[in-house]
Amino acid sequence: MDGVRVGKRVIGAQAPVTVGWENIPKVEGGPAKRLFFTWFQPVMLFALLAFWFYAPNSIAKASTAVAIGVGFKVLLLGLEWLAPRHDSWRLTWKELTSDLFYVGLGYTLLRVVDSYIGDGAIIKAVQHSFDWDKLSWFTSLPLLLQAFLISFVFDFGQYWMHRGMHNWHPLWIAHAPHHYITQLNINKGAVGNPVELFLIGLGVGGFFDFVPRAVLLAGAFGLAVGTYQHINVRFNSPRWWRFLFNTTEHHSVHHSQDFEASRSNYTNTWVIIDRMFGTCVDGEAELLGMEGGRPMSIGETMSFTFVEAWKSIKARFSPNGYPHAVPAE
Amino acid sequence: MTTAAMMTADTLPTGAAQPDASGAPTLRKRLTDWIWHIHGSVPLDPGQSPDEAFDRLDPLFRTTGTARERNGDTLTFSKRDAAAQDRMAVFSGGMLWIEAQAEGLVLRYRLLSKALLYCFLAPLLFLAFAQATVALGKLESPKIEAKKPKAKKTPAPLNPIDKALGAPAPEQPKKKGGDDDKDKKPSPTAGYVFAGIFATLYAIGRVFEARRVGALFRRSLRQG
């Protein structure tokens, strides 16, 4: 495989990756189907933004956001079933069950842990120690600008955390299990070692004072854009959409079995951040995973980070971990 | 001696089947087997030999991570890290054998699924998480009550742009209670919900996967 040169890198030399939007297949079928899969994403995003902007205070609550989030994911699961992007990514009972296990961990165990040592708790402690007040000037900004800033600043932090995970061994061993997924489905974003899921959730948003409605509006970006990272559906995303936002195509390149391709498209929502820092690769891949597509069991996913950390520490501090000195003759 | 009798206990998937003195595979049943064992039978077409039947089933076991052993009329297999799209991925091992019955030859199978077993146990895990959250809440509640109630800030007025666009004005803070107070207490609801989800998934999987594998064997045996 020759691969394709993108900037200073050669993408697709180890595993197949399609590079360039012009080479990516379009949705096939009748005009109604093409119309639906072209406009679904923008219409849902603007509908959600309009909903949260105009919803009465009695409805604009976190519990409504959770209900909409669950309903939207069920709708997308239906789309995956009706119009799969790749048959090789079809959701099976076993895949759905194991994905939901990780989702469940996120809503239960991780949420409790996060309340004690997550970013909220850390920021609270910092503010208490230094007697800082929140940056309250934020609340006077227009709601949509607040929402954009919340989403963008959080994604900016995630970009660097994610990029760090691909470049620094201690963070990589937390993130690596997520890269063993061999197909993209709605709940695959939750698959990974709990340490990684904790780290990726860290943000600086707690330093700011936001209007609750702005937080809900920012959540609309996460739901109506970030969710498509892991989905087995093909959309004809408009040009402006794929320029600004992360797409399934971008994220499939990130999960490709090709090493260089996997070191691209780090953002969750705003792929324009990747464009700013030269890590964006427009394209798509079907063959995903690590070690030639070896699946990782839940047990190994849970233990991988700790086992690898132990091995690394042992290698670092063990006298046998370094090459033996060869006596001079 | 039949091939099943030649196999030792080590070569059989745990708990699947053991040969009796006469050599026929007998199934050592435990009360809990129904949770993760799936068994059934598919009649062979008239004139179809056991060799032909196993040849037709063979592609199902020629997959990454699958170890299989064929001994005459019996096939045993075990799987590790099966690919997501492996049609037998749900099963971690099992045994298929062919029996002569009055109506002709019949393929019988007994399959083990660790995925079903873990899914059966998952509701217990999530119920445990829910109970742990309740216990933590009880431990935390004196601390929360001891904290001085913080005076709630009056929300900032709407930005003129938002006002012009017709966004609702922010709500004035309530004096007592409200959602903020509820949010501070850890809630066990998610644990209960996921316990229910996994109980449902188990019921669906136990029925659906049993039917699906029976249909898969039937289709494979019919196809040339």
Same domain, yes or no: B71 and B29:
yes
* Minimal CA separation from B22 to chain A, in Å: 38
Q: What does the pLDDT look like over B142-163, one tens digit per residue?
A: 766 666 555 666 777 888 999 9
Q: What is the pLDDT tens value at each position of chain A, 329 positions in all?
A: 788 999 889 999 999 999 999 999 999 999 999 999 999 999 999 999 999 999 999 999 888 999 999 999 999 999 999 999 999 999 999 999 999 999 999 999 888 887 777 666 666 666 666 555 556 677 788 999 999 998 999 899 999 999 999 999 999 999 999 999 999 999 999 999 999 988 887 766 556 667 788 889 999 999 999 999 999 999 999 999 999 999 999 999 999 999 999 999 999 999 999 999 999 999 999 999 999 999 999 999 999 999 999 999 998 888 765 555 455 54
Q: What are phi and psi of A44, to 5 degrees?
A: -65, -40
- Residue B224 forms part of a structural domain: no
The chain B residue lying nearest A213, using CA atoms, is: B170
- Residue B138 forms part of a structural domain: yes
* Minimal CA separation from B128 to chain A, in Å: 10
Q: What is the pLDDT of residue B72?
A: 87
* Minimal CA separation from A215 to chain B, in Å: 13
Same domain, yes or no: B138 and B186:
yes
Q: For residues A312 and A184, is the Cβ–Cβ distance under 8 A?
A: no
Q: What does the pLDDT look like over A132-154, one tens digit per residue?
A: 555 667 778 899 999 999 899 98
Query: CB count, 10 Å around CB of B57?
Result: 20
Task: State how many domains chain A has.
Answer: 1
Considering only the C-alpha atoms of chain B, give the largest distance between any 2 of them, rounded to a whole number of Å. 91
* Minimal CA separation from B13 to chain A, in Å: 19
- Residue B20 forms part of a structural domain: yes
Which of A108, A133, A286, A294 to probe by mutation at the B interface, max B CB count within 10 Å?
A108
Q: What is the pLDDT of residue B166?
A: 92
Domain that holds residue B65: 3-112
- DSSP string computed for A232-262: SB-----HHHHHHB--HHHHHHHTBSSHHHH
- A86 has a chain B CB within 8 A of its CB: no
- A310 has a chain B CB within 8 A of its CB: no
Q: What is the pLDDT of residue B30?
A: 78
- Residue B63 forms part of a structural domain: yes
pLDDT over 90 percentage in chain A: 74
A183/B84 CB distance under 8 A: yes
Higher-confidence position of A128 and B101: B101
In a 13 Å sphere around the CA of A29, the CA atoms on its Cβ side amount to 12
- B198 has a chain A CB within 8 A of its CB: yes
Q: For residues A303 and A32, is the Cβ–Cβ distance under 8 A?
A: no
SS3 assignment, position B47: coil
**CATH code for the domain of B42:** 3.30.310
- Residue B214 forms part of a structural domain: no
Q: What is the pLDDT of residue B66?
A: 94
- Residue B40 forms part of a structural domain: yes
Same domain, yes or no: B105 and B156:
no
Same domain, yes or no: B31 and B7:
yes
- A94 has a chain B CB within 8 A of its CB: yes
Q: What is the pLDDT of residue B143?
A: 66
Average pLDDT over residues B158-172: 88
DSSP-derived secondary structure letter, A13: S
Structure tokens at B4: 């099943």
Q: What is the pLDDT of residue B170?
A: 83
A295/B83 CB distance under 8 A: yes
Q: What is the pLDDT of residue B15?
A: 43
Q: What does the pLDDT look like over B10-26, one tens digit per residue?
A: 344 444 445 444 444 55
Query: In this model, does residue B7 exceed pLDDT 90?
Result: no
- B85 has a chain A CB within 8 A of its CB: yes
Q: What is the pLDDT of residue B12?
A: 46
Average pLDDT, chain A: 89
Same domain, yes or no: B7 and B24:
yes
Nearest to B81 among A141, A142, A294 (CB): A294
Same domain, yes or no: B160 and B62:
no
Which of A46, A52, A66, A94 to probe by mutation at the B interface, max B CB count within 10 Å?
A94
pLDDT over 90 percentage in chain B: 58
Nearest to B205 among A97, A108, A294 (CB): A97
Considering only the C-alpha atoms of chain A, give the largest distance between any 2 of them, rounded to a whole number of Å. 85
- Residue B169 forms part of a structural domain: yes
Of B59, B88, B112, which residue sits at a domain end?
Answer: B112
Q: For residues B107 and B98, is the Cβ–Cβ distance under 8 A?
A: yes
Q: Kindly compute the dihedral angle of the four CA atoms of residues A265, A266, A269, A270, in this order, to the nearest 10 degrees.
A: -70
B4-18, B60-74, B103-117, B173-187: lowest mean pLDDT where?
Answer: B4-18
Same domain, yes or no: B10 and B108:
yes
Same domain, yes or no: B92 and B142:
no
Query: In this model, does residue B221 exceed pLDDT 80?
Result: yes
Same domain, yes or no: B69 and B85:
yes
Q: What is the pLDDT of residue B178?
A: 47
Contacts of A118 in chain B (CB under 8 A): none
Q: CB under 8 Å, gap of 24 or more: what pairs does A86-91 form?
A: A86/A183, A86/A232, A86/A286, A87/B85, A88/A183, A88/A286, A88/B85, A89/A183, A89/A184, A89/A185, A89/A232, A89/A286, A90/A183, A90/A232, A90/B85, A91/A185, A91/A232
- Residue B211 forms part of a structural domain: no
- B119 has a chain A CB within 8 A of its CB: yes
Q: What are phi and psi of B78, to 5 degrees?
A: -145, 150
B159/A140 CB distance under 8 A: yes
Same domain, yes or no: B71 and B146:
no
Contacts of A301 in chain B (CB under 8 A): none
- Report the C-alpha gap between A213 and A211 in whole angstroms: 5
- Amino acid code (one letter) for A81: W
Q: For residues A285 and A258, is the Cβ–Cβ distance under 8 A?
A: yes
* CA distance readout (Å), A96 to A53, A144, A261, B119, B217: 33, 35, 27, 11, 23
Nearest to A54 among B129, B161, B167 (CB): B167
The number of helix segments (H) and strand segments (E) in chain B equals 7, 7
